[in-house]
Amino acid sequence: MFNKILVANRGEIAVRIIRACRELGVRTVAVYAKVDGKSLHVQMADEAYCIGESKIQDSYLHEDAILQMALSTHCEAIHPGYGLLSENANFAKRVEEEGLVFIGPKPAQIELLGDKEQARQTMARYGVPITPGANGLESLEAAIEEAKTIGYPVLLKAAHGGGGKGIKLVEDESQMEEAWNLARMEGLNFFKDDALYMEKYLSPVKHVEVQVLGDLYGNVRILGERDCSLQRRNQKLIEESPCAVLDEKVRENLFSVCQTAMENIGYVGAGTLEFLFDENQQFYFMEANTRLQVEHPVTEFTTGVDLVKWQIRIACGVSIEDMDVHFRGHAIECRILAENPDKDFAPDRGDISILVTPGGPFVRFDTYVYSGYTVLPYYDSMLGKLIVWDETRDGAIRKMKSSLGELIVEGIHTTSDFYIDLLGKSYFVEGNYTTKELTDGTQTTHS
């Protein structure tokens, strides 16, 4: 086991990693932006060092500063969490070149699956169904011709995109030029790459993802699926495991093709394969995430597997061959956001005067905030994640409603009450909701 790990992230995921390290007997080093000095991960780590100002480019994305800190504090490994540098193949290479361990997939795997065009081609090669589309669009004229072949509506998507950025819905040819320019601009601004590809826009669909774990010896385990279809502005709001309406034979087929593909790739670490399911439960590969997902706790509840600990163990060379997995019950996660639902979900910032978190068996609140903490305007609006588990889905829904009612956040607006209402909607209770349920007056695209 490692002696010391640098946590190259912030917020609730940094806290989550530090907790796992504590339980494994591993010391931790936190890095932080100057404005983040009072964040919980800074207080929890064994050592903490400021590496820059508020802009993430000058702190949490500052590769040189992070690597220098890891070396000067005698860390053996770096855990990137999710977002930020977690899917940066170049950073993973640099970590290895410095003689450190990157806790995640190999750089070549990040590069392969992080390029959405290459990922689609790779999955198709190993027998995974992919959404009809076109790769390597070199010009607007080429996009127009491909769309005629595929049939409208289509999605233009940034080849290196994620988080709902760089995605534009094109319903007919008259919209193509504007969508092309906007998608390229977002790709360049957010991902430093304006390459685009095209997919047939399928609707209505379910967005279902499969959790994968692989070790250094070629072993791959499938740890169930998560339904992430309730989205707003391309961002997931509620996730649950398992998917309530998935046919068992379809599930078996889904897991089988995922297993085959990831074994052929020789995948190492935690990863997710994301799919769209049409009304007939025909599934199509959409993209891969070569990292831990925000919604990983629902899988932990339904499998009994601590994914963060296993990420660390795998990086140390531990085999997953005898990992104990028990699929059981149902788990739901709600992302608690500092947003005001009554003002079109405008982000809210300020001081949290009181924070009271829910409790009870199989109730978990992953957060980085506390009473007296000031929510900053520099980062995303997620305050934390409320996760519950019960033996049945109905029980999990009731437990989540109860837990949301117990959660008290005074001083800023949150989305808690909005979720209570959402959980009571007939489409959620029945489990047959799709990505179209929350559209804000516009089409919800896939992310």
Closest CA to 45 of 64, 83, 67, 73: 73
Using N-to-C axis directions, what is the helix angle for 107-114 and 89-97, rounded to 10°?
170
Structure tokens at 119: 């990922």
CB–CB of 214/268 below 8 Å? yes
By annotation, the residues acting in catalysis are 291
Closest CA to 5 of 83, 94, 74: 74
18: amino acid identity, one letter: I
Compute the distance between CA of residue 247 and CA of residue 431 in angstroms, rounded to an integer: 13
CB–CB of 101/8 below 8 Å? no
CA distances from 330 to 258, 327, 387, 398, 434 (A): 22, 9, 11, 12, 19
CB–CB of 243/274 below 8 Å? no
Closest CA to 161 of 207, 194, 124: 194
Structure tokens at 287: 């993209």
CA distances from 74 to 181, 241, 392, 410 (A): 46, 39, 47, 41
